[in-house]
Structures are given as structure tokens and as C-alpha cells.
């Protein structure tokens, strides 16, 4: 999958710090619907409405922590894999 650069524009829009339950809600929704929606479609399909700026802050957090990615068509995919992460954490370092 070819990855596209994600743009968040959080400096240009009104943002608020999201609550933990909101971050978890967005992350779970992306995980369940992985590879189905582009950014705006995903925002419109969320189970609870949140502000666009807050949504962008959450996406930036998930992207910077390698939990989501975006393909060349703009579709957001959940890429976090705890099994692989555990292997990296427990491997011997030389």
C-alpha cells in the first residue's frame, strides 16, 4: 500500500483537546471500519458528533503513534498491530 501524506491543518482551524473517551471512540471506529472511508466520510459516520478540529487532533495523534495510515486514494486504514509491537519490544538488541 502506497502511503499518502496526511494533512491535519490544526493550526488553521479551531481545535480543542479531546477527552480520552473521544480518542478511544474514534480509534475503535477506525479499527472497525478500516479501509472503508476517506477522512471526511469517516468524520460524518462517527457514532457521536465531534468538532472537526478535535477530529483532526485525534487523527494526528493516531498517525504520529503509527496506529493509522492513509493510502494514495485518501482512505484511512488502521495499521497498529500489538503482536508485532510486542516482538519488537522483547527482541534482543545488539
50-87 pLDDT tens trace:
999 999 999 999 999 989 999 889 999 999 888 877 77
Which pLDDT tens digit goes with each residue over 1-60?
Answer: 455 667 776 666 666 789 999 999 999 999 999 999 999 999 999 999 999 999 999 999
What is the spatial distance between Cα 93 and Cα 89, in angstroms, rounded to a whole number? Answer: 10
Return the pLDDT at 3. Answer: 55
Let me know: does 58 contact 67? Beta carbons within 8 Å: no
Return the pLDDT at 12. Answer: 67
Task: List the grid coordinates of 55.
Answer: 477530529
Q: What does pTM read for this prediction?
A: 0.78
Return the pLDDT at 42. Answer: 96
Q: Which CATH class is domain 20-90?
A: mainly alpha
Q: Map out the domains of the chain as residue ranges.
A: 20-90
Amino acid at each position: 500500500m502506497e502511503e499518502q501524506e496526511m494533512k491535519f491543518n490544526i493550526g488553521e482551524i479551531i481545535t480543542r483537546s479531546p477527552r480520552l473517551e473521544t480518542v478511544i471512540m474514534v480509534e475503535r471506529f477506525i479499527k472497525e471500519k478500516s479501509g472503508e472511508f476517506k477522512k471526511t466520510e469517516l468524520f460524518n459516520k462517527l457514532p457521536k458528533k465531534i468538532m472537526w478540529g478535535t477530529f483532526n487532533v485525534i487523527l494526528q495523534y493516531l498517525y504520529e503513534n503509527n496506529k493509522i495510515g492513509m493510502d494514495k486514494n485518501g482512505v484511512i486504514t488502521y495499521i497498529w498491530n500489538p503482536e508485532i509491537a510486542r516482538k519488537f519490544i522483547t527482541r534482543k538488541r545488539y
